[in-house]
Amino acid sequence: MKPELTSRSLVYFASVAKHGSIRGAAEVLNIAASAVNRQILDLEFSVGVPLFHRLARGMRLTSAGELLLAHIQRTSRDFQVVKSQIEELQGLRRGAVRIAMIEAVAEATADQIAIFRQRHPKVSFEFKVTGSLEVIGAVAREEFDIGIAFNPPAERKFYALAETRQTLCAVMARSHPLAVRDALRFSECLAFPIFLGDRSLGGRTLLDAMADGTTVDVQPVVVGNSIAAMEIIVAASDAVCFQIEIGACTNETLVARPLTDPALTGRLVLGVRRGRQLPAIAAVFAESLKAALFS
């Protein structure tokens, strides 16, 4: 008689798939590795096929295992949607919202989270600040409900709820020679040390595309995935970094000047996984972001 399929065996299976080994899953689940292994063997016996390739460096899903993992993930998402809808019917306004965003909108989004939680204190949030490429990927993989990206690449699984145009700005110290200007061209910044975001950032893709079509030779002295970190260095030097309008820092030490090059304007996009029904509270928060940042 085949073992009965249980929720425990599916939890263990999903953990092994995520961590790539019996031992890794056991450590996270805080149980013996032998117990995890037994559940995996019983599960494979129950479905009648191997779910993992046993490799020297760990466990890798078979085609059957990938199908089972996709089913588990769909079931989990569907349950969260139904649970959220039930809570909405009860007027509890509970639930969780997961949002992946670029650094440029982190402060503005944090403001919206604070406002939203004042109205709905039982709602929890999880957020990730990363580059546009990872934002799109995380939403497409349904690791996050909502994504905000700048100048993202085409991705059929990512559906734009709203978008607005944003211009890249040069950020520099208030004492910088270029700070007296109201606007600049990118080429004028090249007389000074240049800090650039890495290629996971949407602004970098705009700059690279423009440079590829000209004879401009861009030689950054600093490259990284945090413009906020660059701004700290820029404030104490004659260097220049770049950020879109919504995130460009202007304070007692820094100023931001828009770049007039037509090629340096792109799309700030609010999106979700195409075809996915969001949990009710996540859909409500997405509408709040749309009204606050994209109207």
Q: What is the mean pLDDT of the chain?
A: 91
Q: Quick one: CATH architecture of 73-162+268-293?
A: 3-Layer(aba) Sandwich (3.40)
In tens, the pLDDT along 190-249 reads 999 999 999 989 999 899 888 887 777 788 999 999 999 999 999 999 999 999 999 998
Report pLDDT for 88: 65
pLDDT more than 70, % of the chain: 95
**Is 70 exceeded by the pLDDT of residue 100?**
yes
CA dist., res. 295 & res. 290, Å (int): 7
Q: Residue 274: pLDDT above 80?
A: yes
Query: For the domain with range 164-266, which CATH number is right: 2.40.50.100, 3.40.190.290, 3.30.565.10, 3.30.200.210?
Result: 3.40.190.290
* Of 90-99, 178-187, 254-263, 278-287, the least confident: 90-99
- Of the pLDDT bands very low, low, confident and very high (cuts 50, 70, 90), residue 92 is low
Residue with tokens 């304007």: 265
Cα–Cα distance for residue pair 214/210, rounded to 1 Å: 7
pLDDT at residue 1 tops 90: no
Q: Is the Cα torsion angle 161, 162, 167, 171 positive or negative in sign?
A: negative
Angle at 14 between CA 68 and CA 65, to 5 degrees: 30
Domain 7-70: which CATH number of 3.10.110.10, 1.10.10.10, 3.20.20.100, 2.30.130.10: 1.10.10.10
Q: Containing H/E element for 218?
A: none
